[in-house]
Chains A and B, each alone.
Chain A
Amino acid sequence: MHEMSLAEGVLQIIEDSAQTQNFSRVKTVWLEIGQLAGVEAEAMRFCFEAVVRDSIAQDAKLEIIETPGQAWCMQCSDTVQVQALYDLCPRCGSHQLQVTGGNEMRVKELEVE
């Protein structure tokens, strides 16, 4: 259930930027969540709805952009796509993979007024 803490983190970022960017209502929130970030999109939606109640982001639409998992295969010396952290290289079957992308979780942008 750490999605709850993450949702609170999202609201904190929104409220911080409301001060600096001067807005009073948030219509849409875009989150970028990597496939390997360990965050369940549905749980995130559920928690987000709960934490934004009575805030400037109440009724805001949550858009989650899922970014694909990427890893560097040391055997192939190339970047390959992976679905999970324990995946083997889809080309050579090696587990000598270094995750290079798809583990991010960030607030990308907001539609505000």
Chain B
Amino acid sequence: MCTTCGCGSGQTRIGGRAIKPSRKSGEQMQYRVHENNSAHTHEHEHAHSHDSIDFGTDPAGSHAPGMSQARMVKIERDILSKNDSYANDNRGYLAAHGIFALNLVSSPGSGKTTLLVKTIEALDNELKLAVIEGDQQTDNDAARIRATGAPALQINTGKGCHLDAFMVGKAMQQLGLQDDSLLLIENVGNLVCPASFDLGEAHKVAILSVTEGEDKPLKYPDMFRASDLMLLNKCDLLPYLTFDADLAVANARRVNPNIQVIRTSATSGEGMDEWLAWIKAGCQKAVAGRNSL
């Protein structure tokens, strides 16, 4: 039925013959005056030329002359809604099993994997844990983690520049996570893209090494804004560098006033106690959360 005047498309007849509701563009229509016994006596004010008539092609069969068939559809959906729904599924699963998940983000070469290896060794089986490693290619990082005895799964993103919630959800299934455990997700080394993709983690942890610039938080503000904790890593090298650690922290706080900072060194062990205490507190909270569910 026509949405404009209520007539049905099958009722339109010309010269007693039903016409098809749609016509090919450019096709000229033969026009004859209505006869008295015409089934369709409905008339329009025709302001347009009679070279062609547009009967419309949309499901409603609207045939108002000169009216475009285009319509507007309100969407109002976040572009990342698909990723976010996978992330919510992950978060729900993690909460239900008392798992504390961290998403470690940094530029390549900041020492994420070494820090992870040292963290796992320092925890010394005190916590049940698993690791998901993200890299474009190779299984090298997962192999380094597995050498510590911890279960690790490598995700190769191929051309991708970040992990997304779907990949992590799949990896979580494959790893078979234990209840009341710690899940460490090492994202692809990239200070830009992983900021936008929620994986369902409790916190993003940004790792900035002192061999980079103090202004990294200003250059890549999204990442430092999305993170709750910054590890200022490789601090054992500070005596040999002109890096101003206080300035780096001030820059991070400029982007994210609430960011916590721990100065660490995987080599000297500096800050490791504070970092481990922070992880354990998070794990306890996750377990308490599960018990109150």
Contacts and interface: CB of A to CB of B under 8 A. Distances in A.
Interface of A: 1-2, 5-6, 9-10, 12-13, 17, 21-23, 27, 31, 38, 84-86, 88, 95-99, 104-113
A85 B255 contact: yes
Contacts of A109: 72-76
Contacts of B225: 85, 99
Contacts, number: 97
Contacts of A95: 253-254, 257
27 contacts: A1-B161, A2-B162, A9-B82, A13-B77, A13-B79, A13-B81, A17-B73, A17-B75, A21-B73, A23-B71, A38-B195, A85-B222, A86-B221, A86-B254, A88-B254, A97-B257, A98-B257, A99-B225, A104-B78, A105-B80, A106-B75, A106-B77, A106-B78, A108-B76, A111-B70, A112-B71, A112-B73
Interface of B: 57-59, 68-83, 160-162, 164, 192-193, 195-197, 217-218, 221-222, 225, 251, 253-255, 257
A111 B71 contact: yes
A13 B257 CA distance: 34
A105 B217 contact: no
B75 A113 contact: no
Contacts of A112: 70-73
B218 A107 contact: no
Contacts of B69: 113
Nearest to B195: A38
B54 to A, nearest CB: 12
Given A38-B222, A86-B254, A97-B257, A2 B79 contact: no
Contacts of A110: 72-73, 75
B58 A113 contact: yes
B73 A9 contact: no
Q: State the majority secondary structure of interface residues on A.
A: mixed
B71 A113 contact: yes
Given A2-B196, A38-B222, A109-B73, 6 more contacts: A95-B254, A95-B257, A97-B257, A108-B74, A111-B73, A113-B70
Given A95-B253, A108-B75, A85 B221 contact: yes
Contacts of A2: 161-162, 192-193, 196-197
A31 B257 CA distance: 30
A12 B85 CA distance: 14
Q: What are the 3 closest A-B residue pairs judged by CB atoms, nearest first?
A: A85-B221, A2-B193, A38-B222
Contact of B221 (A17, A21, A84, A111): A84
B79 A10 contact: yes
Nearest to A18: B73
Contacts of A5: 160, 162, 164, 193, 197
Contacts of A96: 257
Contacts of A31: 79
A96 B258 CA distance: 9
B77 to A, nearest CB: 5
A27 B254 CA distance: 42
Given A9-B82, A112-B71, A22 B59 contact: yes
Contacts of A88: 254
Nearest to B80: A9
B80 A107 contact: no
